[in-house]
Amino acid sequence: MKKTIFTGAATAIVTPMDENGVNYQEFERLIEWQIQNGIDAIVSVGTTGEGSTLTDEEHKQAIKFCVDVVNKRVPVIAGTGSNDTAYAIELSKYAEEVGADALLLVTPYYNKATQKGLIQSFKVVADAVNIPCILYNVPSRTGCNLLPESVAVLAEHPNIVAIKEACGNISQIAKLASLCGDKIDIYSGNDDQIVPVMSLGGKGVISVLSNIMPNETSQMCKLYMAGKHQEALKLQLDLLPLIDALFCEVNPIPVKHAVYKMGFCQDYLRLPLTPMESQNAQKLENLMRAQNLIK
């Protein structure tokens, strides 16, 4: 059986920015707060971290900075996937060099590869490194769906140990669990499906919600793992309105605003992303107040 990278909640952490670039002082403060509040792992420069609009140098610096600040207190998973497989290899090798504990490899976007192409692409990236790889399936963003049969093939690779499944289709995730068994760990990629995915054998979540509620998100997973299924379910359902608000506009627009309101960074996004619409921001803030996250 392959080694599990983490159990519980990993934060797909936002990347604090301003007009001068990545704000590393704010980034460090946010990372420290996450660890102090019981997060189980951190994903640096994923979708939520706006990896798609960072320069190559910023992308690498943000990964290294996160690794250095965390300093092995929790696993750091580096977002190194790309629609250019050669670039994904370059980034992945760099992340390994600077001490990342694992890699998050999104399905190549825009190209719309065949299942054969997806399998070959993931295999060559995994071949190029000696650290664990987490596949990331998010068809709503990438335009392609990594099918359970393809994951079953990839699960035979010694370095491919897990998948962040954000297809949103519980039936597909059930089939994935059935085909792969203990050959691959499954993490929910959707905060509104943490408990449902764990009921299918999932090990936790790679979360947007945990940017603002790391302890509660981790606790939801730990309650489920401890057999306290009703308590975990209650927490899942109680947080559903807030989770919905965090996705009422495309991620990471709402969560960047939420983290800003909590005093951790500026509400700064790079085009083509723009700040949250005022009516949506008001609704999100009201739900945050109800959870005592802001005054």
| Mean pLDDT by groups of 10 residues along the chain of 295 residues | 94 97 98 98 96 96 98 98 97 98 97 96 98 97 96 98 98 98 97 98 98 98 98 98 98 98 96 97 98 96
**Overall pTM surpassing 0.85 (yes/no):** yes
Hey, which residues are catalytic here?
Answer: 136, 164
User: How many domains are there within the chain?
Assistant: 1
Tell me if 268 is assigned to some domain.
Answer: no
Assigned token pair, 91? 């980034």
Q: Are 228 and 219 in contact (CB under 8 A)?
A: no
Single-letter amino acid code for the residue at 291: Q
Residue 291 lies in a domain: no
Q: Specify the residue for token string 């920015």.
A: 17
Examine residue 235 and state whether it is found in any structural domain, yes or no: no
Residue 23 placed within a domain: yes
For the beta carbon of residue 98, count every other beta carbon within 10 angstroms. 16
In a domain, 99, yes or no: yes
CATH number at residue 107: 3.20.20.70
Q: If phi over 0 gives left and psi between -120 and 50 gives alpha, with beta otherwise, what is residue 185?
A: beta
In b/e form, how buried is each residue of 147-158, taking b as 16+ CB within 10 angstroms? bbebbbbbbebe
Is 144 inside a domain boundary?
A: yes
Identify any residues that bridge with 8 across adjacent strands, giving them in sequence order. 204
Structure tokens belonging to residue 255: 């969560």
**E strands, the chain, in order:** 8-12, 17-18, 21-22, 41-44, 76-79, 102-106, 133-137, 160-165, 185-188, 204-207
| pLDDT score, position 70 | 98
Q: Provide the 3-class DSSP secondary structure of residue 188.
A: strand
- Its domain, for residue 214, covers 8-226
Return the H-helix or E-strand segment holding 25.
helix 24-36
Predicted local distance difference test score (pLDDT) of residue 1: 72
- Cα 63 to its chain centre, rounded Å, is 14
Q: Which amino acid is at 287?
A: L
Quick check: is 264 in a domain?
no
Quick check: is 176 in a domain? yes
